[in-house]
Amino acid sequence: MNSSPSTDAAFNDHPAASILSRMFPAQALPLPAGWQATALTRADYLPLVAGNVDFFKTHQNAAGAIVDPYEKKERQYSTPAFAQAAATLVQYAGRGDLLEPASRAFSFSLEALVNKTAADKHPDFYIPMMMHAHRILAPRVSPDLREKWKTQLQSLVPEETYRASSGHGNWNLVNVAGEAMRRKDGYVAPEQAQPQRAYLDRALNNQKKAFTPLGLYADPGVPLAYDAFPRLWLENMIADGAYDGAHRDEIATFLTKGALTSLLLLSPSGEWASGGRSAHHQWNEAQLAVICEINAALWAKRGRLDIAGAFKRGAHLALTSMKRWQRPTGELWIVKNYAPPANRHGFEGYSFNSQYNLLAMAMLCIAYERAADGIAERPLPSEIGGYVFDLRTPFHKVVASAGGTYVLIDTGADILFDATGLMRVHKAGVALSPFSSNSAPERHQGPAGDKLHVALTPGLQWKNDAADTTWHSLADARLAPSKPNPSNPPLVQSSEVTIESQSPTQVSFSIKYALSGPNMRPVEEKYVVNASGVDVTTRLADGVDGLTRLMFPALVSDGARDTQITLIGPRATIRRAGGILNFHAISPQGLTPRLEGPRIATRNGYVQALVADLPAGTREVRYRLDLAPENSVPNAVKE
């Protein structure tokens, strides 16, 4: 086995070293039964990019800006992202027809940086995409335009150009990565050479405060989308050879650790782990494609084709996931539901169709440029199974996988985005699980006029006594804040994870929640995960005088079409295009689930409470979830 200090540190010092050593032993593990490679190659990135670019070129104005088709104005960094994506097609897909629109978009974006007129005051995101575009476009444009671009690029001063220049947060790392490329390419003015180098070193030194032992980036609120987001830009910077300063080796080791962590988090459906703001946006998977392609090439050079193959698999599954969401007009539904884009279903306030389509395409272009063909796919850890990965500190998540079944649990949710408890079940071979997200206590995900929000995660609900008119559950509780909250909300004071067994065919573990605040009770949940699905036992650690019931948030719509739900005795089947979920209320015996209450918007569509009343005094319930394929995936590129 070839190794390096970075390789050894990544394994030996990794908090999940025992899991990684089982997933990647000296003798490669046998392939799971029925496992098949995707047959994708580097070239498969470009058709998705082309569909997107061809759609948005019809929304480019005469000046070069991309005008959002729903907002009717330029949004954020859509124009430089278009410039990069279109330029990539010029060079690698023979699309000479895109040279003029790409150059026009580049010129407009560069003028915006120089004149401090970036759309929505988002200049920090421009520069890395622009440097990728510039490398392709500059040799192809007129000498006069090329010289103008050079003068403009050399006029940039980071502290004056960008909003985030202090060395904190993901915005700063995006501009730092792009500035490193600008420096490498020789477009820093001589008088700025030393100050700009000092800016890079200072910012990167400050950024190390957000580097966690897992190799993940802790953005404020620790959303998982904004862990991978800054890492992808750092990965690209290091892969490019654009930064060779004092912090390079430390950053490289951090990135190697984080990439290995990413393999444990990536679901067998190719989706990035959910949690926090910007979850379920398609660019989540695009950034994983970049991270995985870069690390596939790195591990192949290190002689570890098993690890390289897992990263290659991760990149290809992420791309496959994105292809499921391509609209007939070529662009993507930017969030994983099929509601009309104008409805903004599941969007953040800053989500727009133009910038989040084109950002994802810019990322795929980087993945294309960094990809190395000839690396054979190997299974992801979540396809092999046999681990319970505890990343509660600081990300309040637990991931487990066995027998191809993957579960994701939030042990203390940010209730503006998620709810505490089981939040996702995926399975190898199932394209779209009917259970991929939950409903947050303080967030409505539907159209602007739909303000309804209710906390829903699977398990027990209770009423405290006969006078209580409200159902309470673990889903109501949020992660305890660092400072006391005078309003005394429901809180997760602590969670305790006990791992009972871990093997490729089955894992079992339990989580005990100490809850506080109004109507909260201590909750214990036991999970058994295997090829048959996930078996969950939920128990109230103390008695309850009121009513109890079992509840599961059943997906009733994908945003465009209702799912097919069949109820027979203690079982329910939820069928959607892309996947089938079977729910079985096991104990107490004789339960008969029913749908009740309003439809609640989630990132993936709408859910409704599937409930079963429990006998008086019941404080423990057991249920099982399992998934099966449904081959019809709407608007999908054939897989």
> What is the pLDDT at residue 26?
87
C-alpha 59/C-alpha 6 separation (Å) is 45
Say yes or no: 601 and 474 in one domain. Answer: yes
Maximum Cα interatomic distance, the chain, rounded to a whole number of Å: 82
Chain centroid to CA 191: 41
Structure tokens at 130: 């622009």
Q: Does pLDDT of 601 surpass 50?
A: yes
Q: pLDDT-derived band of residue 443, with 50, 70 and 90 as boundaries?
A: confident
Tens-digit pLDDT profile for residues 583-592: 999 999 999 9
Residue with tokens 């080796």: 249
C-alpha 623/C-alpha 591 separation (Å) is 11
The DSSP letter of residue 275 is: -
CB 69 within 8 A of CB 354: yes
Structure tokens at 419: 């709810």
Q: Is residue 402 part of a domain?
A: yes
For the ranges 3-12, 152-161, 476-485, the maximum mean pLDDT occurs at 152-161
Q: Is residue 38 part of a domain?
A: yes
Residues with Cβ within 8 Å of 499's Cβ and at least 6 positions away in sequence, in order, are 388, 390, 507, 508, 509
Out of 335, 351, 379, pick the residue that ends a domain.
Answer: 379
Q: Is residue 637 part of a domain?
A: no
Which residues make beta-bridge pairs with 508?
501, 528
Say yes or no: 300 and 431 in one domain. Answer: no
SS3 assignment, position 553: strand
Say yes or no: 128 and 80 in one domain. Answer: yes
Domain of 402, CATH number, reads 2.70.98
Chain centroid to CA 418: 14
CB 320 within 8 A of CB 270: yes
Provide mean pLDDT across the span 83-100.
99
Out of 339, 354, 379, pick the residue that ends a domain.
Answer: 379
Q: Is residue 214 part of a domain?
A: yes
Out of 349, 379, 409, pick the residue that ends a domain.
Answer: 379
C-alpha 634/C-alpha 326 separation (Å) is 9
Nearest of 269, 176, 279 to residue 230 by alpha carbon: 176
C-alpha 322/C-alpha 282 separation (Å) is 6
Q: Is residue 251 part of a domain?
A: yes
Q: Is residue 125 part of a domain?
A: yes
Chain centroid to CA 112: 30
Structure tokens at 127: 């520069």
Q: pLDDT-derived band of residue 518, with 50, 70 and 90 as boundaries?
A: confident
Say yes or no: 441 and 478 in one domain. Answer: yes
- Listing from the earlier edge strand, what are the strands of the sheet with 579-587? 478-479, 491-502, 506-516, 523-530, 533-540, 620-628, 579-587, 571-576, 564-568
Nearest of 217, 134, 223 to residue 174 by alpha carbon: 217
Chain centroid to CA 235: 16
Q: Does pLDDT of 485 surpass 90?
A: no
C-alpha 464/C-alpha 473 separation (Å) is 11
Structure tokens at 236: 């690209």
Q: Is residue 346 part of a domain?
A: yes
The DSSP letter of residue 367 is: H
- Listing from the earlier edge strand, what are the strands of the sheet with 472-473? 472-473, 459-462, 548-557, 605-613, 594-602
Domain range for 208 is: 5-379
Beta strand residue intervals within 329-414, DSSP E: 385-391, 397-402, 405-410
Say yes or no: 269 and 371 in one domain. Answer: yes
DSSP 610-633: EEEE--TT--EEEEEEEEE-----
Nearest of 628, 74, 94, 83 to residue 404 by alpha carbon: 628
> What is the pLDDT at residue 1?
37
Say yes or no: 283 and 396 in one domain. Answer: no
> What is the pLDDT at residue 566?
98
Predicted TM-score (pTM) of the model is 0.96
C-alpha 613/C-alpha 594 separation (Å) is 9
Beta strand residue intervals within 412-469, DSSP E: 421-427, 459-462
Backbone phi, psi, residue 401, to 5°: -150, 140
Q: Is residue 638 part of a domain?
A: no
Q: pLDDT-derived band of residue 8, with 50, 70 and 90 as boundaries?
A: low
Buried b (16+ CB within 10 A) or exposed e, 38-68: bebebebbbebbbbbbbbbbebbeeebbbbb
CB 259 within 8 A of CB 238: no
> What is the pLDDT at residue 545?
82
Say yes or no: 402 and 367 in one domain. Answer: no
Q: Calculate helix-pair angle for 5-12, 248-265, nearest 10 degrees.
A: 50
Looking at the structure of the chain, the number of domains it has is 2
Say yes or no: 83 and 10 in one domain. Answer: yes
Q: Does pLDDT of 632 surpass 70?
A: no
Tens-digit pLDDT profile for residues 259-295: 999 999 999 999 999 999 999 999 999 999 999 999 9
The DSSP letter of residue 68 is: P
Q: What does DSSP say about strands 533-540 and 523-530: parallel, antiparallel, or unpaired?
A: antiparallel
Say yes or no: 509 and 600 in one domain. Answer: yes
C-alpha 563/C-alpha 266 separation (Å) is 26
SS3 assignment, position 81: helix
Nearest of 102, 552, 633 to residue 362 by alpha carbon: 102
> What is the pLDDT at residue 634?
56
Say yes or no: 374 and 481 in one domain. Answer: no
Q: Which region among 328-337, 401-410, 543-552 has the lowest average model confidence (pLDDT)?
A: 543-552
Q: pLDDT-derived band of residue 2, with 50, 70 and 90 as boundaries?
A: very low
CB 277 within 8 A of CB 221: yes
Tens-digit pLDDT profile for residues 350-407: 999 999 999 999 999 999 999 999 999 999 999 999 999 999 999 999 999 999 999 9
> What is the pLDDT at residue 532?
97
Q: What does DSSP say about strands 405-410 and 397-402: parallel, antiparallel, or unpaired?
A: antiparallel
C-alpha 368/C-alpha 85 separation (Å) is 11
**Average pLDDT, rounded, for the chain:** 95
Percent of the chain having pLDDT more than 90?
88
Say yes or no: 123 and 226 in one domain. Answer: yes
Say yes or no: 343 and 471 in one domain. Answer: no
Domain of 108, CATH number, reads 1.50.10.10
